[in-house]
């Protein structure tokens, strides 16, 4: 009976959870398998270990740049959560426009049936609108660190909010047809969340509200 002789088994690729700068590199080589790494690589092509200045997305577990604010794979917001912002807003703040006010401001029957909503969390601001009698949804979302200023629109009957952004990478957010007192409270909250969010991200600008 012949015995088949085989070489040593190949080691299993390491399950790396390193997330710090240069976590799995030594002189341009992967510290696990010593393979040469290409410039800018986030994973070793030989063993799959995480390398370089990376962080791991909390949702899809993909490796992304350490300074990324949004995961390019699943669009999860990766902006660091400020303890001050989390303490200030422990649950999402959700406001909805008045159906009649939204219909008049946006001149839309759909807005009467499905008024726009604004959701504020410690990391982002999100406005959702329905279109074509609710058959389509339009979402606008920005990180709180991108807020440059907050303006309240003080109408005769209804109020509104305009959130202006830095840099032009994202458009301004606007929602109208709101109860005036609710709009005022929401504008103040956005201003406070944006201030602590900007500080957490290392920003220098302050969000300020007009007409408050």
Per-residue model confidence as pLDDT tens digits over 15-65: 444 444 344 445 677 766 778 877 777 777 887 777 666 777 767 777 777
CA distance 171 to 198: 18
Whether 144 maps to a domain, the answer reads: yes
Whether 125 and 205 map to the same domain: the answer is: yes
Q: Residue for token digits 């410039």?
A: 39
Q: Quick one: 125 and 191 in the same domain?
A: yes
Does any domain span residue 168? yes
- Check whether residue 94 and residue 163 sit in a common domain: yes
Q: What is the mean pLDDT of residues 73-101?
A: 77
Is residue 173 assigned to a domain?
A: yes
Query: Which has more confidence, 88 or 18?
Result: 88
The Cα 106–Cα 53 span in angstroms is: 45
Instruction: Decide: pTM greater than 0.75.
Output: no
Distance CA 78, CA 71 (A): 7
pLDDT of residue 35: 82
Domain boundary (28, 47, 78) is at: 78
**Domain extent for 177:** 83-210
Is the domain of 156 the same as that of 89? yes
Residue 146 lies in a domain: yes
Same domain, yes or no: 54 and 151: no
Q: Is 6 left (phi over 0), alpha (psi -120 to 50) or beta?
A: beta
107 to 65, 103, 164, 193: CA distances (angstroms): 43, 5, 23, 31
140, 119 contact by CB (below 8 A): no
**Cβ within 8 Å of residue 156, ≥6 positions away:** none
Q: At residue 109, does pLDDT exceed 50?
A: yes
What does the buried/exposed string (b/e) look like for 160-191 if buried means 16 or more CB atoms within 10 Å of the residue's CB? bbbbbbbeeeeeebbbbbbbbebbbebbebbb
The backbone torsions φ and ψ at residue 105, rounded to the nearest 5 degrees and listed phi first, read -65, -45
Q: End of a domain among 78, 94, 118?
A: 78
In a domain, 1, yes or no: no
**Residue reference for tokens 């329905």:** 130
From 78, 107, 126, give the residue that closes a domain: 78
Measured between its terminal Cα atoms, the distance across the chain in Å is 91
Average pLDDT of the residues in 114-128: 91
């Amino acid at each position: 009976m012949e015995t088949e002789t085989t070489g040593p088994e190949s080691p299993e690729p390491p399950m790396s959870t390193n997330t710090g700068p240069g976590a799995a590199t030594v002189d341009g080589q992967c510290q696990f398998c010593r393979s040469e790494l290409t410039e800018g690589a986030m994973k070793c092509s030989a063993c799959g270990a995480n390398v370089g200045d990376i962080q791991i997305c909390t949702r899809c577990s993909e490796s992304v740049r350490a300074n990324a604010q949004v995961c390019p794979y699943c669009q999860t917001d990766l902006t660091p959560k400020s303890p001050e912002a989390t303490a200030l807003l422990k649950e999402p703040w959700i406001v909805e426009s008045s159906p009649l006010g939204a219909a008049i401001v946006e001149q839309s029957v759909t807005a009467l049936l499905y008024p726009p909503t604004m959701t504020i969390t410690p990391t982002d601001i999100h406005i959702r609108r329905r279109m074509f009698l609710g058959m389509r949804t339009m979402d606008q979302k920005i990180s709180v660190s991108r807020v440059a200023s907050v303006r309240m629109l003080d109408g005769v009957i209804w109020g509104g909010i305009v959130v202006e952004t830095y840099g032009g990478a994202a458009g301004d957010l606007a929602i109208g047809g709101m109860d005036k007192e609710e709009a005022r409270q929401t504008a103040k909250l956005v201003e406070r969340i944006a201030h602590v969010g900007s500080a957490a991200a290392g920003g220098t600008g302050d969000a300020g509200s007009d007409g408050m």
